[in-house]
Amino acid sequence: MSAKPEPAPILDLIEAFRRSKTMFVAVRLGIFDALEQKPQTAAELAATLNLHPAALARLLNACAALGLLECGNGVYRNRSVSSTYLVSTSPETLSGYIVYSDRSLWDLWSHLGDAVREGTNRWTQTFGGRNALFDFYFRDENSTAAFLGGMHGLGQLSSSTIARAFDLSRFHHLADLGGATGHLAVAACEAYAQLRATVVDLPPVVPFAQKYIARSAAASRLDTLAADFFTDPLPPADLYSLGRILHDWGEDRIRLLLAKIFAALPAGGALLIAERLLDEDRMGSLHDVMQDLNMLVCTDGRERTRSEYQRLLRAAGFTGVQAVKTGTPLDAILATKR
């Protein structure tokens, strides 16, 4: 009789959502921000944040067990990973993306079964008729700031690598379409002294982009343009970029956008794409396939393989399509117009 398999993988998955929610709630309650100011006991922190002391102590112990906090003699303090990525004022913070995950993705994923049953995103089901992704996130200034802060933190993990994945020294003007806070355009201008860039995004986004751009050493070579890249004319450029844009949309809209970009480019111009690349069998790392499932519940799009992007780009007229796995959350594609 063969031995029973160990149940550890199943038990781990049963508890996985508990670990996520523990971190989500700790960020939203401001625990890491408060402890960054000074280490505190559970009682002190409860008074600071107006929380139940005994219940807070249990949450803090869970955060310590997760490796997010240290505790000695009843005093809690941030570990360096929390100071870097969970404190809202850190330049590398991911707290905005965590809040976005807690407020939006958590509820959307609760309807994953219906998404698989019907093959459509869950916006209407989750948010009571809101099925326009960006109308929801840009509904007011606070929502816009939270969403863009989340995308900025996540984008910074890849942007510098994306900007250096190919030699962009022959280009002079980058138009970053849907560029949000401009983290990709900033990284490109900081990597290439000859490059100027325009961050193109919707009117509610532009003031936030300008604030982030102003912090860059290359700010004098960066500007913004309020526009909808689907409906408005594109600014002149010899290099366009799309970072985490194409995975939001279905094939028809992608074809229209790629044709529009191709028509706007001069000969020798190119399109730089930052997206997660699935393996050709549509598998890949756990992060890859989880993100593909995320797109099912969130959007009309999906993650794609290298050959799927190549087909779309070549159908639009691009040649010399190159793709690079970067080892960061996003991979890089460069497509040239001969």
- Nearest by Cα to 25 from 71, 67, 56, 54: 56
- Residue 60 banded pLDDT, cuts 50, 70, 90: very high
In this structure, the number of other CB atoms found within 10 A of the CB of residue 129 comes to 8
CATH value of 8-87 in 1.10.3720.10, 1.10.10.10, 3.40.50.620, 3.30.465.10: 1.10.10.10
Yes or no: is domain 154-282+299-336 CATH 3.40.50.150? Answer: yes
- Residue 145 banded pLDDT, cuts 50, 70, 90: confident
**Among 20-29, 55-64, 128-137, 150-159, which is the least confidently predicted range?**
128-137
pLDDT given for residue 1 in this prediction: 65
Query: Which helix (H) or strand (E) is 98 found in, with range?
Result: helix 95-100
Summarised one tens digit per residue, pLDDT across range 168-223 is: 999 999 999 999 999 999 999 999 999 999 999 999 899 999 999 999 999 999 99
pTM here?
A: 0.90
* Domain layout of the chain by residue ranges: 8-87, 154-282+299-336
Please give the angle made by the CA atoms of 242, 248 and 251, to the nearest 5 degrees: 90
Q: Check residue 220 and report its DSSP letter.
A: G
Catalytic residues: 247
**Among 109-113, 144-148, 259-263, 329-333, which is the least confidently predicted range?**
144-148
pLDDT given for residue 133 in this prediction: 60
